[in-house]
Amino acid sequence: MHLSEPSALTVMHKYIRQELFAVAAEVSRATPADCATVREAMVNIAALLQRHAEMEDRLLEPKLRALNRALADHMAEDHRHLYEQLGRILVLVDDLEPSQPSSCQKVLCQLHLDWMKFLGDYLLHLDDEERVLFPHLDALPPVAVVAHRAAQLPPSDRDAFLGKLANALTPDEFRLITDLENRAATA
């Protein structure tokens, strides 16, 4: 598998990295008045990461397990550890109470530190997948998977997703997605 060739996973990893940093920016500048925005950002990123892990577990884990049980176990353990961390972060998000500015500010500071640690761990996980796990596989899911998913979204969600995706990809990668998405939408 050549990582220079875009796949659904490498494209989504770029998108995820962008979203992780967007949440980091949101949390780093948050005040008690921003609690609802921070809560929404955290819930949305958690859902994105959960869907991505489930997709990897469904599509890659069996292939990887057949090739190398230790690598498959490593990926599964990484996913488990990251989602435990994310679960603790979401509990902290539930403690945000804007009507108590002093305690809310303390929670926001702790949330910022915890998010940055999680961000670092998640980035290392993505790097590990791309450098260690993916090269063991003959093929990764094609970019058409992302294009097909985009074509199935309601128009406003599709436009928002494609707008974010455009900022995460090279022009050639994005053009490939939109060409395939347009074909999927008209099929």
Tens digits of residue pLDDT in 78-132: 999 999 999 999 999 999 999 999 999 999 999 999 999 999 999 999 999 999 9
pLDDT at 3: 58
Shared domain for 20 and 100, answered yes or no, is yes
Mean pLDDT of the 14-24 span: 98
Shared domain for 42 and 85, answered yes or no, is yes
Query: DSSP secondary-structure letter at 181?
Result: H
For a pLDDT cut of 70, what percent of the chain falls above it? 97
Shared domain for 121 and 156, answered yes or no, is no
Is the pLDDT at 13 greater than 90? The verdict is: yes
Please give the C-alpha separations between residue 91 and each of 24, 27, 111, in angstroms, as whole numbers.
17, 15, 10
Shared domain for 87 and 161, answered yes or no, is no
* Interacting residues of 148 by C-beta distance below 8 A, sequence separation 6+: 180, 181, 184
* Interacting residues of 165 by C-beta distance below 8 A, sequence separation 6+: 11, 15, 146, 150, 174, 177
Banded pLDDT at 2 (limits 50, 70, 90): low
Shared domain for 90 and 170, answered yes or no, is no
Q: Is residue 2 part of a domain?
A: no
The Cα 38–Cα 25 span in angstroms is 10
Provide the domain limits for residue 160. 143-187
pLDDT at 1: 47
Shared domain for 119 and 107, answered yes or no, is yes
Q: Which of 42-46, 51-55, 149-153, 175-179 has the highest mean pLDDT?
A: 42-46
Q: Is 68 helix (H, G, I), strand (E, B) or coil?
A: coil
Banded pLDDT at 139 (limits 50, 70, 90): confident
The number of domains in the chain is 2
Shared domain for 158 and 71, answered yes or no, is no
Residue where the block lists tokens 């500048």 = 29
Residue where the block lists tokens 């577990």 = 57
Q: Is residue 1 part of a domain?
A: no
Shared domain for 36 and 121, answered yes or no, is yes
Shared domain for 76 and 45, answered yes or no, is yes
* Interacting residues of 29 by C-beta distance below 8 A, sequence separation 6+: none
Please give the C-alpha separations between residue 104 and each of 11, 38, 108, 109, 115, in angstroms, as whole numbers.
36, 12, 6, 9, 16
Shared domain for 103 and 156, answered yes or no, is no
pLDDT at 22: 97
Shared domain for 111 and 185, answered yes or no, is no
Shared domain for 137 and 152, answered yes or no, is no
CATH number of the domain at 103, please.
1.20.120.520
Q: Is residue 63 part of a domain?
A: yes
H or E element: which one contains 22? Answer: helix 8-28
Is the pLDDT at 47 greater than 90? The verdict is: yes
Is the pLDDT at 59 greater than 90? The verdict is: no
**CA angle, residues 147, 150, 153, in degrees to nearest 5:** 155
The Cα 165–Cα 127 span in angstroms is 19
Mean pLDDT of the 20-48 span: 97
Cβ(59)–Cβ(141) below 8 Å: yes
Is the pLDDT at 185 greater than 80? The verdict is: no
The Cα 66–Cα 32 span in angstroms is 49
